[in-house]
Amino acid sequence: MNSAIDSAESLVTIDNWRPRQPSSNYVMQGLATKKALDTYHLILAPTHACNLRCRHCYLPDHAAQLLPEAVALRLVEEWSEVSLDERGAFGGIFHVKGGEPFVVPYLKKIMERLVELQSLRLMLTTNGTYTSAKVLESLRKCNDGLHGHVTVIVSLDGAFSATHDALRGAGQFEITVGFLRSLRAMNVQAHLNCVLHAGNVKEVPAYIGLAKDLGVDQINFLPLVPKGFGIELQSMQVPHLVLHRELQAVYETGDQATKKLLAGSLSHILDREETEHVTPAHECVAAYRGLFYITPEGNVYTCPNLVNTEHKIGTVYGASLRELCDSLPTLYANLRPQAGFDDRLICTGERVLYEKTGQTLSLQNLRSLQAKAGSPPTLKSESRKAVAFCVSRNF
């Protein structure tokens, strides 16, 4: 039997890379030597329209503009071809977020086409407020048709109704928890997104208890990014290092089930490095091959956190997804940080945001997080094994 080190190396060596079956704990993960994600991931925001008006929402608006159905369905076909060629069956994810995916009139058609194709996994990020029998049945059918290759990420922003509802509106906590229980009953894999801020960070232990009760597979604790509507809550932002320390403490004292739920958090990544001798490059995965974020206007970026004009790769009207994939190395080269800092580890989207807005304190905090996690190895030393994680995980 291979040792942990052997198996870790065989997992990440570029030459023997093989598409992996989905793990229950999904992490945005890439092959740094190839500048490519190991599981391809296209994130489509077909609209910014939404039934809620969350106070922290990073979107710039809730406009009703909708990517035309024909374009969205063409993207399914194109992504299926690219992912099948480069990652094999179910080695790619078609991820619908928004806005709210369940307001998209053609969501069901996307799901049906994915079942016909049998090539891509489906991921949805939802506020979990569409709980009708019709919606639940469409999810159950798609999950069965894709043999369990469906992950629903549900946003739950607190362990209690007071904190969740403070951001998302009165009564929303109960509705969303009900939705999560329905997913559990249907055996659909569920993850939780929780945006952490000064008002809920102390609830992390209670939140983990709730996640266990709800039987979810993973929790993504996300830092509050002061963008869009969320600018108003900037004063609620918790310094990155403080957030990390809070999570680290919970991780260290937690049982195995807790650690498993936090897989993908920085604490877990650092723990794996120490205990399993894995040396991930944990470089920001922006501009990696196999990662796209597409807006209602059809603009293409490589990350939902990096949507500035200068980081636009193109539009879905001007190029195929394969052509857009081929244009990524240029963007990757341009994303490298300013002289004097090796910021490859930290989230490029956040770094650019703070540089643009002159928020030096937030930038310093981001860099102190990087210092805590350690400098990424040089490309030379990572040539044998190189796994990169999206530390911010704002997906």
Give me the residues that bind ligand SF4 (CB under 6 A), please.
50, 52-54, 57, 59, 98-100, 127
Q: How far is the CB of 60 from ligand SF4 (least distance, A)?
A: 11
Q: How far is the CB of 153 from ligand SF4 (least distance, A)?
A: 11
Candidate list 35, 41, 56, 164; residue touching ligand SAM; CB under 6 A: 56
Instruction: Answer with the entry of ligand SAM, ligand SF4, none that 224 interacts with (C-beta below 5 to 8 A by kind).
Output: ligand SAM
Instruction: Answer with the entry of ligand SF4, ligand SAM, none that 280 interacts with (C-beta below 5 to 8 A by kind).
Output: none
Angle at 291 between CA 288 and CA 296, to 5 degrees: 135
* Strands (DSSP E) found in 165-315: 189-196, 218-223, 289-294, 299-301, 314-315
Q: Does residue 196 bind ligand SAM (CB under 6 A)?
A: no
Name which of 26, 17, 16, 42 is nearest 119 in CA terms. Answer: 42
Q: Does residue 44 bind ligand SAM (CB under 6 A)?
A: no
Per CB under 6 A, contacts with ligand SAM among 96-155 are: 97-98, 100, 125-127, 155
Q: How far is the CB of 222 from ligand SAM (least distance, A)?
A: 5
Q: Report the run of H or E that residue 120 belongs to, with start and end.
A: strand 120-126
Instruction: Answer with the entry of ligand SAM, ligand SF4, none that 53 interacts with (C-beta below 5 to 8 A by kind).
Output: ligand SF4
Instruction: Answer with the entry of ligand SAM, ligand SF4, none that 230 interacts with (C-beta below 5 to 8 A by kind).
Output: ligand SAM
Instruction: Answer with the entry of ligand SF4, ligand SAM, none that 225 interacts with (C-beta below 5 to 8 A by kind).
Output: ligand SAM
Q: Closer to ligand SAM at the Cβ: 32 or 93?
A: 93
* Strands (DSSP E) found in 224-319: 289-294, 299-301, 314-315
Q: How far is the CB of 96 from ligand SAM (least distance, A)?
A: 9
Name which of 250, 216, 262, 223 is nearest 27 in CA terms. Answer: 262
CB 59 within 8 A of CB 52: no
Q: How far is the CB of 197 from ligand SF4 (least distance, A)?
A: 13
CB 124 within 8 A of CB 155: no
Q: Does residue 295 bind ligand SAM (CB under 6 A)?
A: no
Name which of 393, 227, 392 is nearest 308 in CA terms. Answer: 227
Q: Does residue 248 bind ligand SAM (CB under 6 A)?
A: no
- Please tell me the total number of residues recorded for the chain in this structure: 395
Distance CA 168, CA 160 (A): 12
Q: Does residue 156 bind ligand SAM (CB under 6 A)?
A: no
Instruction: Answer with the entry of ligand SAM, ligand SF4, none that 243 interacts with (C-beta below 5 to 8 A by kind).
Output: none
Measured in degrees and rounded to the nearest 5, phi and psi for residue 145 equal: -65, -30
Structural tokens at position 214: 């709800």
Q: Does residue 201 bind ligand SAM (CB under 6 A)?
A: no
C-alpha R_g of the chain? 20
Map residue 299 onto helix, strand or coil.
Answer: strand
Task: Single out the segment in contact with ligand SAM by CB under 6 A; choices: 7-15, 20-28, 223-231, 243-251.
Answer: 223-231
CB 101 within 8 A of CB 126: yes
